[in-house]
Amino acid sequence: GSHNAVLSGMLAADKIAAAIAAGRANDEVVEIENEWRATDIGKDLKRVRNVKPLWSKFGTAIGVALGGLDMWTNTLLGFSFFGTLRHGKTDAASLEPASMHRRIDYPRPDGVLTFDRLSSVFLSNTNHEENEPVHLQVKDMALQKSSEHDIYAGPSTRYCPAGVYEWVEKNGEETFVINAQNCVHCKTCDIKDPNQNINWVPPQGGEGPVYPNM
Ligand code: SF4
């Protein structure tokens, strides 16, 4: 129960203190990369790795059919005709200007099957000190306005699962607001911002989501 959780928390803190005393403060957890690839999730992802590159390359009809074939050979025979294909471009480079697309009106969450983002953020138990050092850094605010807002219609307000980013009118000017205390550290903004203008850095020690029911 909670007693064990407190105990293991203390043990973890002791281990961290010992590691720091041993001069290992800058250790990187490099084993994570190999270890997750050996799990069931890692193996599943390996089998489907070519589906999206094939889809992008050959279009919906042929690409999806080839993706299906590739998943069969990977699953049944443990092998792919294609090896490992690469994506043609980064997520950030895949965004197109809003003027090329129709606006999507998303239905309101119904509270039964779909939920608003802030009640999900509440469940994540995410926590940051009010005055913590900024961990979501925008390199160039003028560019954020002229490009992310004016050209791409503010995708950060939709891709961020925690509703951290908002474009709000202040004194007649569209202003980029960052509610950093809600961040659940998914790193999407760092990857998806069309100008690579947002830099996610680790928050100060131990802050962020704490999922008590996972
Ligand atoms: S890391 Fe994820 S949750 Fe945090 S601000 Fe970026 S997109 Fe939002």
Domains of the chain with CATH codes:
1-37 (no CATH), 39-88 (no CATH), 107-214 (3.30.70.20)
pLDDT tens digits for range 167-194: 999 999 999 999 998 899 999 999 999 9
Cα-to-centroid distance, 70 and ligand 1 (Å): 33
Q: What is the C-alpha separation between 167 and 149, in angstroms, rounded?
A: 8
- Between 62 and 104, name the one with better pLDDT: 62
Q: Which atom of ligand 1 is nearest to the CA of 159?
A: 7
Rounded distance from Cα 87 to ligand 1 centre (Å): 23
pLDDT of residue 156: 98
Lowest mean pLDDT segment, chosen from 73-82, 113-122, 173-182: 113-122
Q: What does the pLDDT look like over 189-213, one tens digit per residue?
A: 999 999 999 999 988 877 778 776 6
CA distances from 97 to 3, 40, 76, 138, 168 (A): 53, 38, 41, 20, 20
> Which ligand 1 atom is nearest residue 200's CA?
1
User: To test ligand 1's pocket by mutation, which of 91, 126, 159, 184 has the most ligand atoms within 8 angstroms of CB?
Assistant: 184
Give CA–CA dist 207/209, Å, rounded. Answer: 7
- Give me ligand 1 centre to Cα 160, in Å: 5
Confidence (pLDDT) at 88: 86
Q: What is the pLDDT of residue 1?
A: 47
Query: Span 46-75, mean pLDDT?
Result: 95
Ligand 1: does its nearest atom lie under 6 Å from the Cβ of 200?
yes
Q: Of residues 9 and 68, which shows the higher confidence score?
A: 68
